[in-house]
Structure 1
Amino acid sequence: MTGIRLAACAEMLYVDLPLLDRVKRISDRGLLVEIWDWSTKDIDALAGSSAEFSSMTGYLTGNLTEPDGIAELLATAQRSLEVAERLNCPRLNLHGTGLGEGGLPVRPVQVVTPAMWLTAAATLRKVAELGAAAGRTFVLENLNLAVDHPGTPFAAAADTLALVRAVDHPNLRLNLDLYHAQIGEGNLIDLVTEALPYIGEIQVADVPGRCEPGTGEINYAGVAAALKRIGYTGVVGLEAWAAGDPDTALDAFESAFAPAR
């Protein structure tokens, strides 16, 4: 059985360089590359690079529960799939609702009703079917409400896991972000163990500060050992700011997850 593969987010590292140079720096280290909003990128240049992409944003606008938002989400998910085909990117990332400036929800929600849960599951089933037709997987990311994304519905890891379980489709998985989960819920090793059958990717950063492993409170070497023990063989992506030098941050990331490789 092979171990995990590591990826890094080009949006948050080497931020003083043009995006294509960031992608090259990450790729030259033998890491997969993750990007966010593809609509702001030179897709031809990215497709012509030697980088192997791991994930990208899977929609531009919309949400899971309101008729106009659902239509927007499905339409922009289809456009995202076309870009993913050009980049040969296997996973497309989703959130409980569209995020705007500063990561805040475009349409904040304070109370999620039972009807909204049912509608969200039905919408995600349609998204999964789009993914299946294109041979790609959509991943639903958990977020935190306390620090970064207040007012986002279906934000907690327990919520995203419940939705993915309810849809139960191979082209809809979890993007289990352990930075967000630590802030919102904690108990990370039990969380990855419970979620294992539904995980499409794991993302990491330390708490507080959202920087590389070793800068905060999370024992990522322990998490890595747990991932090896439970047999996780997918991608772990660093979605974090560098506390100092980006190369040093990536060294720390690779060292933390050495037990799982």
Structure 2
Amino acid sequence: MYLAACIEWLFAAEHQSFPDRIHAAKAAGLKAVEFHLWRDKPLDDVRRALDETGVRLTSMVVEPRRSLVDPAQHDEFLAAVRDSLQAAKEAGAQALVVASGFTRPEVSRQEQHAIAVGVLKRAAALAEQAGIPLVLEPLNTRVEHPGMFLDSTAEGLDMVEEVGSPNLRLLYDMYHSTVMGEDPAQVLAGRFHLVGHVQVADVPGRHQPGSGTVDWARYIGILRELGYTGAVGLEYKPQGPTLETLATARAALSL
């Protein structure tokens, strides 16, 4: 496993430009970075900084964000996937993140699930053609994302399994999962082959690992037992200077 700094938040207080944040991540000994939306980012400059430093770009988000559970938004969603796949190629991103969109109270959960799986199959076919995977992220509905349809790791894994494409995997964010009261050993048991990326932040507050109540020795131990060797995205909001919080996170994660 290796660490990837979410430069949407890490190094943001110290450096205004994203290329400078990439260089700062390299100087801090990090092998990878990630960020959220891409349309407001200088992708040419980002790619140049990645090439200069050898830092990897683990992920960015499909944009504009559209609903998976509302068929009226599917054409826009698929157009966003096409545009984002091209942007990912240009920037050198290794994966694209998608979320479900908000639940439709007037439609049954079972029907919304089926609608989402249908459009994810079409999106995964586009991703297969481009050679860049999509990662589906469940988001917590208790703190940051009330009303979001997909807030369950188990249901997210069900969707990935039903789509059945090597270019759709789950983004397992330990922060969102913990906020929803899930236990990683239970929700990932026997299904970790469906996970493509992992992110972390502590609970409560979504700050650096080591700042809250999560038992990181146990959580990282679970990932090791499952054989995970990929990036661990540091998607936290720093409490203080980035390098100080990074030291706290590294100590907590033993990475």
Contact map agreement 1:178 1:202 (CA 8 A) in 2:
yes
Distance in 2 separating the partners of 1:70 and 1:167: 16
Distance in 2 separating the partners of 1:34 and 1:26: 11
Distance in 1 separating the partners of 2:171 and 2:80: 19
Number of the residue aligned with 2:125: 129
Distance in 1 separating the partners of 2:26 and 2:77: 30
TM-score (norm 1): 0.89
AA aligned to 1:64 is: L
Contact map agreement 1:131 1:137 (CA 8 A) in 2:
yes
Contact map agreement 2:140 2:180 (CA 8 A) in 1:
yes
- Answering whether residue 171 of structure 2 is matched by residue 175 of structure 1, we say yes
Distance change >3 Å, CA 162–CA 54, structure 1 → 2: same
- Answering whether residue 18 of structure 2 is matched by residue 11 of structure 1, we say no
Number of the residue aligned with 1:101: none
Distance in 2 separating the partners of 1:67 and 1:42: 32
2:199 to 200, 203, 214: 203
Number of the residue aligned with 1:102: none
Number of the residue aligned with 2:24: 25
Number of the residue aligned with 1:81: 85
Distance in 2 separating the partners of 1:109 and 1:208: 28
Aligned with 1:38: secondary structure?
A: coil
Deviations 1:197-237 (A, max 9, x none): 11100100000000111111111121112211221112211
Aligned with 2:233: secondary structure?
A: strand
1:194 Cα deviation after fit? 4.0
Aligned with 1:225: secondary structure?
A: helix
Distance in 2 separating the partners of 1:9 and 1:195: 26
- Answering whether residue 156 of structure 2 is matched by residue 156 of structure 1, we say no
1:81 Cα deviation after fit? 0.5
Distance in 2 separating the partners of 1:81 and 1:207: 32
Number of the residue aligned with 1:67: 71
1:112 Cα deviation after fit? 4.5
Aligned residues: 247
Distance change >3 Å, CA 61–CA 26, structure 1 → 2: same
1:221 to 217, 223, 226: 217
Distance change >3 Å, CA 83–CA 7, structure 1 → 2: same
AA aligned to 2:95 is: R
AA aligned to 2:3 is: L
Distance in 1 separating the partners of 2:21 and 2:230: 23
Listed as ranges, the gaps of 5+ residues in structure 2 are none
Deviations 1:166-198 (A, max 9, x none): 112110000001100001132123223343111
Q: Which moves more between the two structures, 176-185 or 221-230?
A: 221-230
Q: Note the aligned Cα RMSD (angstroms).
A: 1.6
1:58 Cα deviation after fit? 2.0
Distance change >3 Å, CA 248–CA 118, structure 1 → 2: same
Contact map agreement 2:185 2:222 (CA 8 A) in 1:
yes
Distance change >3 Å, CA 76–CA 84, structure 1 → 2: same
Distance in 2 separating the partners of 1:169 and 1:256: 34
1:117 Cα deviation after fit? 1.2
Aligned with 1:40: secondary structure?
A: coil
